[in-house]
Structure 1
Amino acid sequence: MQLPQTSRSKHGAAFLSVKRTVCGQNCHSLESLASFIPKKGTIHDPFPGPQFNKVEATAVSVPEATFVSLKFSGDDLDPGVVSKILKKVPERCERIGDVLFTNSKGVDRVAKTGFWQLSAPDRLDGDLDAQIVAFLDQFTIDMVVWRELAERFQACIFCSLFVKTVNDEIILQASTLQMLSERGLSIGFDVY
């Protein structure tokens, strides 16, 4: 079988999705072949035998849309202080004990903890890596400030991914993961 055209990220990494039919059942696996894909050649099944009767390769797809938010939470979180430190106005914030809303029966919903959230502009190209980098570049580069916030509060970059298929792939570059680590930020995902 001839090797198909691979997709390349802007960072130069090549990725290939391998779909194998095993005993009549489709099995999907995503393999990062960045340093191993030959320019021309064939794909050889590493597990030959009667249980593997077909190997086909196709380019990997990426999510249709990605949404990213920076979130801080904690019982002693004062949104005004976080805003002042980061020099940003949140789109959502609350202090512990704030009445968030009152339902139709007159029962108040009260904030159980302090919360601060700001979202990055939405991306429809599936490039989560670039979205996170561009978003964090808008904030202070003082790592002492970031570490103090991360030590005081739960600090997170939260990502929502809207995928086209069950086989979509997201790769975060080591430099992006380092940005998160230097700032003490964890990363969370919701996949739809």
Structure 2
Amino acid sequence: MMQFDRLFLIVAGSAAIGMFVGFTAGLDNPPASKDVQWETLVAGAAAIFGGWMAYSGAIEPYKRTRKQYFIDFHRTVNDAAEYLRAMCGLPIHSSEEKYRGVMTKITSYKNEEVVGEIDVSMVEMREEISRYLYNRPFITEHVASAELINMFKDFDEMAENIVMNPETTFEFAATEIGDWFKKFDYAMLNPDI
């Protein structure tokens, strides 16, 4: 999606260059320089500036609404992945009423217990990944982008590898999932609107 601020710079730059070329051409032709109507040039520049302000005013509500969609989708995904994020050592939204909306860390979630040859924490991680994939919200039309769709596909492939590979360690899984959620957080909090 093209950023509209860049479009303004292109149009304004082209207009400024055109005015400069017209002015310098008039210097070579003295009768033309006497006929330059500065009030017309100033009125044209004011019209361009006024058009840009009107356009910006019309686009700003759209940008704010779209950013709110990204924030809501980010919150919904993170709420569905609350325990998975906690397992990876990432901050989660506090579920306590007095701290609602505050990001906190659960430091004592990881279960180090090993029963026989089975790492209990890895069993819990696999269960939590499956639960998250089942409960994960769909990408809505308001936030859909090729980048986000590819991020979710990458997560699905990574999750399948973690769940299906019996040799995956908890640390590896937590690092991989944690890195994905960090990229997701960044993409949602810094959307290219």
Q: TM-score, normalised by structure 2?
A: 0.23
Q: If each structure's helix is expressed as a fraction of its own residues, which one has the higher value? A: 2
Instruction: Specify which structure has the higher proportion of strand.
Output: 1
Computing the radius of gyration over CA atoms, which structure comes out larger, 1 or 2? Answer: 2
